[in-house]
Amino acid sequence: MNNPLLEKFDTPFESAPFTKIKNEHYKPAFEQAIALAKKEIDEITNNSESPTFENTIEAMELSGEKLGQISSIFFNLNSAETNDEMQKIAQDVSPLLSEFGNDVRLNEKLFERVKAVYEQKDSFNLTDEQAYLLEKKYKGFSRNGANLNNEDKEKLRDIDKQLSMLSLQFGQNVLAETNSFQLVITDEKDLKGLPDYAIEQAKADAEEKNITGWVITLQAPSFIPFMQYAENRELREKLFKANGLKAYQDNEYNNEENVKKIVALRHQRAQILGYSTHADYILEERMAKTPKTVLDFLNDLLAKAKPFAEKEIEELSKFAKEIDHIDVLQRWDHAYYAEKLKQKKFSLSEEELKPYFQLENVTQGAFDVATKLFGITFKEINTIDKYNEEVTTYEVLDKHGNFLSLLYADFFPRAGKRPGAWMTSFREASNINGNSKRPHISIVCNFTKPTKDTPSLLTFQEVTTLFHEFGHALHGMLPNTVYESLAGTNVYWDFVELPSQFFENYCYEPEALKLFAKHYKTGEIIPQELIEKVKASASFMEGFQTLRQLSFGLLDMSYHGNNDNNLDNLQVFEKDIFKQTDLYPEVENSMMSTSFSHIFQGGYSSGYYSYKWAEVLDADAFAFFQETGIFNPETAQKFYKLLSSGGTIEPMKLYEEFRGNKPTPDALLKRAGLAN
């Protein structure tokens, strides 16, 4: 059988031949590509010559190219253009891929060669990028226990097995508890205050369960609008308290023991590998580097934001007293009165903004911003294959007119596309031995569709989303680096959101908005007063929001950054951390930790701080542009260097080269209205 996935792509730019690929091609292609990748690894381990950077590290970098190509096409489409058959294929091939990954990671002969190169690295005359790649490859093994004796290796594998079971169990318990609660409403007046879409949702949830009336659940699309809009205070309290009991009740879904076990095992694992805590282990491969840096960072922001948060709650309490005679404002009142106060202060309607943001103009606006900054240009092309007619394709050129990248833009929702917005790639950049491969980048979104009479008009949030994903896309399109593993967005986790969040800043600048925020009927540029309102409402209750984020970051670090925690009573442990950030009366018998899926189920352990960290970076970086001019060519040149360097340098060093010093939270605090 001819399999287009296995052949060399004989297409313009070697772009993926989407129209030739059929579902039946994937599985055999995966199988053959895995076999090929295995053979390539065997050739490295069986090489009779002594290990060098080229015959080991670079050879590893070059291996598995076909497999990477097929994987990116398949998994990108499985997100943007899937169907039952593809999901079935995903289930079939995922175990094969993880087995192959494990075979490489646990390959002792391969590690021996990598280690030999690592130990003689000074004798090889490596470039900085090569030295950095070597470090990364070596760490990839050592952080998984390759240097341990057999007994410890066995222990580590046993811990990993237990940890994956425990986080699975943790997640299942949270899910079961989320699904087991329902607030049944039979009296229509208890729905008072809720917007139509929330009432429809409540009705649909009731119908699905064969219940007469309306049902409110702990799922976010039901829970959040109810807390925000429902006038019935008692029901808000009931719902809020139910949420605080998730996986903390006396039943089979209680997560207290799971939390204790997960924390203990993570510490044990870190210590076997020679780290003092789990946080030390995780942060070694982050920009922040040490638990102390993270804690100082969180505590500094806490000290600065807290007085503002206190003032906000004072104002909110006064407001609630005025309009509803509330004596003591409680947690279940917060979202409700905050929404009301926000309406009173800003009365900003989405419908007022949308006509200024026609999708085509906003896209062109993002391109124009990049052109003004970096001289790069975008040209729509129709000579390459698309996986769906709705996709638009562009050729991106640098300021000298040289080819930089392909860009796919896929903007509208449809069956087979998962919700949300993301940037991804069909091919990443590399340039080994003069063999330059330019990247093929894609942006996928779910924006408001055009209708027969109206073009696609974006909400302001969609506008910032487009700029956000475009920032990631630039990171992927601009590499001036040699190795794929270090190119573009292959950077540390607490650094990767810098380019994307940085670009969002342009959505608030009059000088940028005049490029694209034009009324789709009259061509009038958006009035500045509207933008000021958007800005002010964006930082509404920012002090409180900041404290909330910090409280989660501090809790995360307390679990993972200490060795002498007393976790006998989780409730006591948690309350002790939260008392630094709490501004509301305590709620008896409630718990966050038992449903804190980010850190106990997902991959955010010792990483929750990165949300705020990234905001500090983007605000500080953009402040440099505000100081020098938001399109200043010299500042832009420095930022281009940062973007095009990808992950070839320690991010803090890279950032300092751009900015002239380390990032400080000043610009973020100013932007968020948290500075005097």
Least distance between Zn ion and beta carbon 78 (Å): 20
Question: Where does this chain touch Zn ion (CB under 5 A) — which range of 10-18, 241-249, 328-336, 492-500?
Answer: 492-500
Question: How many whole angstroms separate alpha carbon 665 and alpha carbon 302?
Answer: 11
Q: How many residues bind Zn ion (CB under 5 A)?
A: 1
User: What residue number has its CB nearest to Zn ion?
Assistant: 500
> Between 317 and 500, whose beta carbon lies closer to Zn ion?
500
Least distance between Zn ion and beta carbon 133 (Å): 25
Would you give the binding string for Zn ion spanning residues 442-481, x where CB under 5 A is met? Answer: ----------------------------------------
Would you give the binding string for Zn ion spanning residues 546-585, x where CB under 5 A is met? Answer: ----------------------------------------
Does residue 656 have an active-site annotation?
Answer: no
- Tokens encoding 276: 């003092």
> Between 500 and 635, whose beta carbon lies closer to Zn ion?
500
Please give the residues from 340 up to 399 whose contact with Zn ion meets the rule CB under 5 A: none
> Between 456 and 500, whose beta carbon lies closer to Zn ion?
500
CA 520 to each of CA 74, 353, 372, 451: distance values in angstroms, whole numbers, following the listed order: 37, 11, 23, 14
Q: Residue type for 533, please?
A: K
Least distance between Zn ion and beta carbon 447 (Å): 16
Question: Where does this chain touch Zn ion (CB under 5 A) — which range of 56-64, 186-194, 241-249, 499-507?
Answer: 499-507
Question: How many whole angstroms separate alpha carbon 269 and alpha carbon 637?
Answer: 44
Query: For the chain, what is the radius of gyration of the CA atoms?
Result: 27
Question: Where does this chain touch Zn ion (CB under 5 A) — which range of 290-298, 437-445, 493-501, 656-664?
Answer: 493-501
Give yes or no for a contact between 273 and 145, defined as CB atoms under 8 angstroms apart: yes
Q: What share of the chain is helix, strand, coil (3-state, %, to 5)?
A: 60, 5, 35
Question: How many whole angstroms separate alpha carbon 5 and alpha carbon 9?
Answer: 8
> Between 299 and 461, whose beta carbon lies closer to Zn ion?
461
Per CB under 5 A, the list member of 217, 405, 500, 595 interacting with Zn ion is 500
Least distance between Zn ion and beta carbon 5 (Å): 29
**Residues contacting 431, CB < 8 A, separation 6+:** 437, 481, 482
Would you give the binding string for Zn ion spanning residues 198-227, x where CB under 5 A is met? Answer: ------------------------------
Interface with Zn ion, residue 424, by CB under 5 A: no
Least distance between Zn ion and beta carbon 614 (Å): 9
DSSP 224-255: HHHHHH---HHHHHHHHHHHHTTT-SSSTT--
Question: How many whole angstroms separate alpha carbon 344 and alpha carbon 338?
Answer: 10
Instruction: State which H helix or E strand residue 408 sits in.
Output: strand 403-410
> Between 107 and 465, whose beta carbon lies closer to Zn ion?
465
* DSSP-derived secondary structure letter, 420: S
> Between 442 and 500, whose beta carbon lies closer to Zn ion?
500
Question: How many whole angstroms separate alpha carbon 259 and alpha carbon 261?
Answer: 5
| Burial profile 197-225: b = 16 or more Cβ within 10 angstroms, e = fewer | ebbebbeebbeeeeeeebbbbbeeebbeb
> Between 80 and 259, whose beta carbon lies closer to Zn ion?
80
Least distance between Zn ion and beta carbon 301 (Å): 21
Least distance between Zn ion and beta carbon 474 (Å): 12
- Which of 469, 497, 574, 615 is catalytic? The answer is 469
Helix (H, G, I), strand (E, B) or coil at 60: helix
Contacting residues toward Zn ion, per CB under 5 A: 500
Q: Which residues are catalytic?
A: 469
